[in-house]
Amino acid sequence: MAISNLQKARAAYQPKLPKALQGPVKAVEGAATQSVGNQAEIKELFPNTYGMPVITFEPGAPVELPPFNVGIILSGGQAPGGHNVISGLFDGVKSLNPANKLYGFILGPGGLVDHNYMEITPELMDQYRNTGGFDIIGSGRTKLEEEDQFEKGIQILRELGIKALVIIGGDDSNTNACVLAEYYAAKKYGVQVIGCPKTIDGDLKNEQIETSFGFDTACKTYSELIGNIQRDCNSARKYWHFIKLMGRSASHIALECALQCQPNICLVSEEVEAKAMSLDDVVTYIAEAVAARAAEGNNFGTVLIPEGIIEFIPAIKKLIAELNDVLALPEAKTITTANEQLDFVKSHISRENLSVFKSLPADVAAQLALDRDPHGNVQVSLIETEKLLSRMVADKLAVWKKSGKYVGKFGTQHHFFGYEGRCAAPSNYDADYCYSLGYNASRLIANGKTGYMSVIKNTTAPAAEWVAGGVPITMMMNLEKRNGKMKPVIRKALVELDGAPFKYFAAHREKWAKETDYVYPGPIQYWGPSEVCDQTTKTLQLEQAK
């Protein structure tokens, strides 16, 4: 494997740990917990892992443990810091007993089912410390849902002498981890399952999880790119840049980037839904800002768009919900062509939703009616929302120009920032946070816990003051409809419109819309003043009033 100069330099960086994890620990248990919704149903589905207490680690007395082995799985999309979770887990299990081994399952949960694995050695681990990506063992999107998969998994876990399995993933992956933990507990197989919160989208968080790892780095990476575009925009002064950002189910990335860069417009999906805005309402909002700047002679600007905004427009959300039900019907599974599927959809949805469906641009309507992702969701990242909105804004401005309401020129450029941020070299924050999550997971294993997620809190404070522990995954769950059936899933965290980050944005956006008040964050800095290179996201600072 070729190693860059940056990677060589970063390999020497020693991630910081909370004080409680810097030596032996003792687990302090809180009160019994319950799920965030559907308590009776979730308790019935998870009788062996429901109601467990929140765990907090404090310094404790040394305890000798016999050797044991641990398995690790990277699941779902990449996020900066994944390698540091693995290195933290590696160092943590080795500190408990040097004879312990860590095995990585190749290309995600499928590696467990297919018995595809490798031992992570010290020499291998040292090549990946403080690096981006998931390439040490690869990731995958196989869902662990079936008994046959669980039984195939236990075969290789027993063969390798694995006591515990750590699954690094987002809400769906950690839901699968919880299902697996419950199954192994019910069967008394003696294998623990621990989750780690990963997703750059930022929607895996709650009172116990301050932020999912990778969000900090991804937002800094996107903000650098947005800042570069804004500087170009303010230099040429002839284009409106429509920038779509990752965030299918929530607008955390778009909001954080807006807080960092101060664009002229940032759409927040949750606000669009709360205000029951139509697609035309969204277009009018953008067009009015464009017209107001044009009146001042500024025919340029930036618009940030969360990729999932289409799903938050109430009329379209209602349409998508019915489309999901229709496409889950048994007869829909026999359709072989796109045209047949479109005809099938049109003949099976309500008159109200058919009217909305026909009002959409043909390419958008087709995308909504065709293939779903493995979780049964519309593949909104394939819908070029940035081009759709700029096209509709251009049409509206053309009408306004005839009446004299608009007097400018409207040139556009389009961008979608997604993969650019998923494997970036982790920021100091993510390097420390992820290493702590992995190290902390080793302590949950040592204390015999299963069905828990590794959590690190108080992360706006210096790392030594961070709080380490674990939270039962069932505590975060409720029932939602997936592929036409009600299933237990971790509730996604949306942007809170009464939260400090959105309130700060809302208080400043009118000024940002009118003025060219751009911020150019520049690249992620690893060396320099700590107030620059170790700062947390604006979101966390505002949420914790720091």
What's the CA gap between 204 and 195, in Å, rounded? 12
Strands of 188-230 (E only): list them: 192-197
Close Cβ partners of 5 (under 8 Å, ≥ 6 residues apart): none
Close Cβ partners of 6 (under 8 Å, ≥ 6 residues apart): 425
What's the CA gap between 377 and 316, in Å, rounded? 14
Catalytic residue among 91, 172, 201, 430: 201
Close Cβ partners of 217 (under 8 Å, ≥ 6 residues apart): 79, 80, 81, 132, 200, 421, 424, 425, 426, 427, 429, 430, 524
- For the question of residue 201 being annotated catalytic, the response is yes
407 neighbors 401 (Cβ within 8 angstroms): yes
SS (H, E, C) 90-157: HHHHHHHCCCCEEEEECCCHHHHHCCCEEECCHHHHHCCCCCCCCCCCCCECCCCCCHHHHHHHHHHH
Residues making up the chain, counted from first to last = 546
Please, which residues bridge with residue 348 across strands? none
Please, which residues bridge with residue 104 across strands? 72, 118
164 neighbors 135 (Cβ within 8 angstroms): no
Environment class of 12 (CB within 10 Å of its CB; exposed 0-12, middle 13-18, buried 19+)? exposed
Nearest to 168 by CA among 441, 447, 476, 482: 441
Cα 342 to Cα 39, 329, 355, 483: the distances in Å are 39, 14, 14, 18
Q: What angle do CA 411, 415, 417 make, to 5 degrees?
A: 160
Tokens coding 442: 């080793």
Catalytic residues: 201
